[in-house]
């Protein structure tokens, strides 16, 4: 008798539990969504960083072959630097391996670094200096999420030193030369 007495409340208890679970469902999900912002917010920041990197054109220079392949480069290979030189009056510069640069700096260091960044051309350093802190933080989160990869880009060369191929060269025409060579014709005096 005792066991049955003991067991008898069970179905009721089970029903009560199920009912509680059912009633509890919206409460549980509300609790889950209340707690949710912490995890998705971090994920959102990583996704936002990916978006900023994608539309701000960082890959155009810092990812080898990105422009040539119309952006069809796996995210895992992004920002590993490029051996393509940019030659001009400033010498020859190379888009650095940001996977290595970013992994060497914690978030606070990165925010200070990018807010005050001054580089040689062709890096649009003014763009990073003007970028909102939220966006620069997101870049850090995203690049950190990818982890370090690849090797360092070539060292910059001083003005006047010939770089090995491949490189882009910016040639500034001599004053007056632009109009003289327009359409490949010398203007008739
Ligand atoms: C037009 C090409 C170009 C674009 C676009 C570009 N960079 Fe650069 N970046 C360079 C080059 C070249 C250098 C090396 C400059 C030097 O040697 O002084 C550089 C250097 C840097 C540096 C300093 C070196 C280092 O690794 O710490 C940072 C940081 C940087 N870029 C981040 C970015 C980010 C983030 C973006 C996108 C928002 C971006 N760059 C877009 C070409 C570019």
Identify whether the C-beta of residue 159 lies closer than 8 Å to the C-beta of residue 91: yes
Q: What is the pLDDT of residue 154?
A: 98
- The mean per-residue pLDDT over the stretch 113-142 comes to 98
How many CB atoms are closer than 10 A to CB 109? 12
Q: Could you give phi then psi for residue 115, rounded to 5 degrees?
A: -70, -20
- For the ranges 12-16, 117-121, 170-174, which has the lowest average pLDDT? 12-16
- Estimate to the nearest angstrom the gap between the alpha carbon of 145 and the chain centroid: 10
Which atom of ligand 1 is found nearest the CA of 131? Answer: 38
Choose one of 49, 60, 62, 142 to mutate for the ligand 1 pocket test, by most ligand atoms within 8 angstroms of C-beta: 62
95 alpha carbon – ligand 1 mean position (Å): 5
Peptide bond into 64 cis (omega under 30): no
> pLDDT tens for residues 100-117?
999 999 999 999 999 999
> pLDDT tens for residues 162-176?
999 999 999 888 888
């Amino acid at each position: 008798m005792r066991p049955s007495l003991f067991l008898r409340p069970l179905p009721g208890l089970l029903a009560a539990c199920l009912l509680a679970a059912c009633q509890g469902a919206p409460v549980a999900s509300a609790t889950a969504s209340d707690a949710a912002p912490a995890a998705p917010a971090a994920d959102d920041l990583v996704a936002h960083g990916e978006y900023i990197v994608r539309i701000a054109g960082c890959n155009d220079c810092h990812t080898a072959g990105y422009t040539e392949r119309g952006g069809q480069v796996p995210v895992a290979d992004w920002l590993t630097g490029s051996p393509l030189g940019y030659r001009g009056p400033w010498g020859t510069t190379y888009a650095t391996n940001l996977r290595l640069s970013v992994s060497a700096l914690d978030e606070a260091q990165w925010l200070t670094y990018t807010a005050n960044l001054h580089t040689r051309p062709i890096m649009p350093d003014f763009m990073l200096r003007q970028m909102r802190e939220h966006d620069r933080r997101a870049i850090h989160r995203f690049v950190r999420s990818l982890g370090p990869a690849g090797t360092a880009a070539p060292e910059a060369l001083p003005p006047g030193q010939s770089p090995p191929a491949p490189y882009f060269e910016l040639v500034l025409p001599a004053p007056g030369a632009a109009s003289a060579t327009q359409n490949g014709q010398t203007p008739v005096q």
